Amino acid sequence: MWAFINKLRSPKWFYAISAKLQPWFWAAAVLLLLLGSVWGLVFAPADYQQGNSFRIIYVHVPAAFLAQSIFVSMAISGLVFMVWKIKVADMAATVMAPLGAAMTFVALFSGAVWGVPTWGTWWMWDARLTSMLILLFLYLGVIALRGAFSSRDSGSRAASVLAMVGVINIPIIKYSVDWWYTLHQPASFTITGRSAMPMEMWAPLLIMVLGFYCFFIALTLMRTRSEILRRETNKRWVQELVEEVR
């Protein structure tokens, strides 16, 4: 464990190991996403109530899962950075924030599109959509705070603290929004409220979720690598790397 943490201290080590891992995750992501979309969009049966429009679930649900998971991993990275002063963790957190915000936006947008055939309107104050919207604001706060400091180190620490505060609040926000929604009961059903989904429908969903996760990991590795190069431009190993390429 300690040996691993000590290795993580070196961005150079991470740069090397991530180069080996990255192609595997890309391959898995492409494979799973292709399989999941074809299965989900073509072969899975249509919903008896919503018809074909339910198929947007194959984008909406994985994106919503990822939006929440990315915030948690961002907060964990922040904690690792604060406790063990591991710079790579902060670099990963830096690149995760816009990714997470984008995923939240995808979840919101697909939810709005889905709302047209189901509710007849682009926006409903549905519990899930409302929680997602608040999550988007939390992401924007973290991104804005990091950018507001003139010293990058201070910005990193401030963003880490805010991510940790946010991650403690996410379950509380989710619980209170659910409670608020049941109290007001404006709509008859939520988009993904039903649990009894036939196997032919949720198997592709599971594949899509896995595909989205692999895509996220691959993209995070790739962007963390460029962040490492950007921040360590003046370090010897990076300059040697540049010489090699030339």
Partner 1 sequence: MSLCLQARQLACERDDRWLFEGLDLDIQRGEIVRIEGPNGSGKTTLLKILSGQLSDYHGDIYWNGDSMRKVREHFLANLLYLGHAPGIKAGLSPLENLAWYQALSGEKGDDCQREKALEQVGLSGFEDVPAGQLSAGQQRRIALARLTLTKRALWVLDEPFTAIDRHGVAALEAQLVAHANAGGCVLVTTHHELTASSVLRRVQLG
Partner 2 sequence: MSMHAPSGGLMVAISATFKRDLTLLLRRRGEVLNPLVFFALVITLFPIGISPDPQLLAEIAPGLLWVAALLAALLSLDSLFRSDYDDGSLEQLLLAPQPLAALSLAKVAVHWLLTGLPLALMAPILGIMLALPAGSYMVLALSLALGTASLSLIGAIGAALTVGLARGGVLLSLLVLPLYIPVLIFGAGAVQAAILGDGIAAHLAILGALLAISLMLAPWAIAASLRISING
The Cα–Cα gap between 91 and 224 comes to 6
Closest CA to 70 of 202, 163, 208, 133: 163
**In this structure, what DSSP letter does residue 46 have?**
P
Which of 4, 43, 120, 151 binds partner 1 (CB under 8 A)? It is 151
Nearer of residues 183 and 199 to partner 2, judged by Cβ: 183
Shortest distance, CB of residue 224 to partner 2, whole angstroms?
23
Nearer of residues 52 and 233 to partner 1, judged by Cβ: 233
Cross-strand partners of 51: 47
Nearer of residues 32 and 238 to partner 1, judged by Cβ: 238
Answer yes or no: are the C-beta atoms of 149 and 155 closer than 8 Å.
Answer: yes
**Amino acid symbol at 137:** F
- Under the binding rule (CB under 8 A), the answer on residue 231 touching partner 1 is yes
**In this structure, what DSSP letter does residue 47 have?**
B
Which of 6, 49, 84, 85 binds partner 1 (CB under 8 A)? It is 85
The Cα–Cα gap between 209 and 61 comes to 8
Nearer of residues 9 and 157 to partner 2, judged by Cβ: 157
Radius of gyration for the alpha carbons in the chain, expressed in angstroms and rounded: 20
The one segment of 4-12, 89-97, 151-159, 220-228 that binds partner 1 by CB under 8 A: 151-159
Interface residues with partner 2 (CB under 8 A) are 134, 137-138, 140-141, 144-145, 148-151, 154, 157-158, 161-162, 164-166, 168-169, 172-173, 175-177, 179-180, 183
Report phi then psi at 36, rounded to 5: -65, -45
Which of 152, 179, 198, 239 binds partner 1 (CB under 8 A)? It is 152
User: Using H for helix, E for strand and C for coil, what is the string for 49-76?
Assistant: CCEHHHHHHHHHHHHHHHHHHHHHHHHH
Shortest distance, CB of residue 141 to partner 1, whole angstroms?
23
Nearer of residues 162 and 208 to partner 2, judged by Cβ: 162
List residues near partner 1 by CB under 8 A.
85, 151-153, 231-232, 234
